[in-house]
Structure 1
């Protein structure tokens, strides 16, 4: 019988953050079995660890190349059993080093990121029910990658970000056509503090309450567009509009173009 652990990531409160399933011994499970377990768990992601530090990530609907919150959850679960220290995960997106400190706070280092121009966003805005004049012109739309692809759209007000109601099927089709994992919807509170939301319909989830992969991609976006100056640590608030607050820290260094994402994770009780 496969043991599935459950952790809330990017929080110290089991009722907050983003829940992830973690299978620490997935040896012998094929992709179909992993997909079935992830669908049964029902969280936005479940991570499966096999020999050699290999990790695969499955949403209830499909495998994804990388998931930040499930990586944090997996690292903390391992540290609780083996002690804090350095880990190296081999993921479909590439090698992900993770450090877990004595307070069981995990910091992952992304794969090499990139940022792409976006040819048009009219369809995305229509699906979201947003107008172009509700965007922040200082944070232009881009596609950003740090293990998975995300479309970054910045709202000009917190109210615009809070009012999110989109066409699930249309956004799913839009994202699949463009190989997007989430939309990274953001509002800038200060130069280094942001509020973010992440629709995730391609994974069968309306919205993620904490998205480490998108946080890493967003850090790369800010650096590429010279909207922040490394070295810098960014604070991302996510999940507040869902009643599941999450806190994500993103570090950009001068000596490394990869992005570091930090957060806590705590066990949660499995449903009866």
Structure 2
């Protein structure tokens, strides 16, 4: 492992133009020489919630490779995951700084994820388009166990935003707090929640508080990845956009703003775009390279 440590590894934060904000990710633009064990070990050494590895160029299917298409894999410090939004944004920004902005396609375990990188003033902004999302119910017993692991009384939930499991590349349990104070008080049973999440195949919990019709504050416990909390979670933001639209909480065409990381001291902003007639969800944000 040590021979690969640091070689070709970039560090970016996503969903903030400040290196001290948003969600940091490791990015390896050429991981073709790394096997699974090496990628996992490197992700563990970096210690970020996820790191991204480009393992090839072009489409993995039989058609001729298209320009600026890549096969990408994501590893937390504990395991490979099918899709990661913030590491996708970080990788797209790294490629844009190297090759210029424009359109990209990342072929993930979850499916093809188009990303557009555009320059806005002095900043680069990346917007990903999720795979097709879906929403499922959570059983009363599983909800009771989730609340027990969080140490949240059921009375602290917002009845206007019912619990659901939402998928847009990875599965997330959406739970809405009735107050900002409830959201800010996060002190959960790590092992108990991790066990439940493995059983339900959840990537994170998307804990939300609705500040206005289109503005939300969110937090994402991530014990299955080996970290207490994820600072800015693009995959969960995409899943939440699908959740909000499916339940009629927002119009079919809407732009939502998600604030995440404030309670961790790493504030970030995620923009969620919904378009009528297109089930997929777009999640965008800025980012920057971490140089120290």
Do Structure 1 and Structure 2 share a fold, with TM-score over 0.5? yes
Q: Secondary structure at the match of 1:136?
A: coil
1:94-113 matched pairs, under 5 angstroms? 94-103=111-120, 104-113=124-133
State the partner residue of 2:177.
Answer: 155
Q: 2:77 aligns with which of 60, 70, 74?
A: 60
**Aligned pairs, number:** 270
Whether 1:248 and 2:244 are equivalent positions in the alignment is no
Q: Secondary structure at the match of 2:278?
A: coil
Q: Secondary structure at the match of 2:220?
A: strand
State the partner residue of 2:8.
Answer: 3
TM-score between both structures, scaled by the size of structure 2: 0.91
How big is the shift at 1:231?
1.2
Q: 2:24 aligns with which of 19, 23, 31?
A: 19
State the partner residue of 2:282.
Answer: 260
Q: Secondary structure at the match of 2:73?
A: strand
Gaps spanning 5+ residues in structure 2: where? 58-69
1 CA distance for matches of 2:81 and 2:195? 16
1 CA distance for matches of 2:159 and 2:76? 33
Runs of 4+ in 1 over 4 A off after TM superposition: none
How big is the shift at 1:50?
1.8
1 CA distance for matches of 2:170 and 2:72? 15
How big is the shift at 1:230?
2.2
State the partner residue of 2:260.
Answer: 238
Q: Secondary structure at the match of 2:31?
A: coil
Q: 1:35 aligns with which of 36, 40, 45?
A: 40
Q: Secondary structure at the match of 1:180?
A: coil
State the partner residue of 1:51.
Answer: 56
2 CA distance for matches of 1:172 and 1:8? 25
TM-score between both structures, scaled by the size of structure 1: 0.98
State the partner residue of 1:203.
Answer: 225
1 CA distance for matches of 2:75 and 2:56? 18
State the partner residue of 2:88.
Answer: 71
State the partner residue of 2:251.
Answer: 229
How big is the shift at 1:28?
1.6
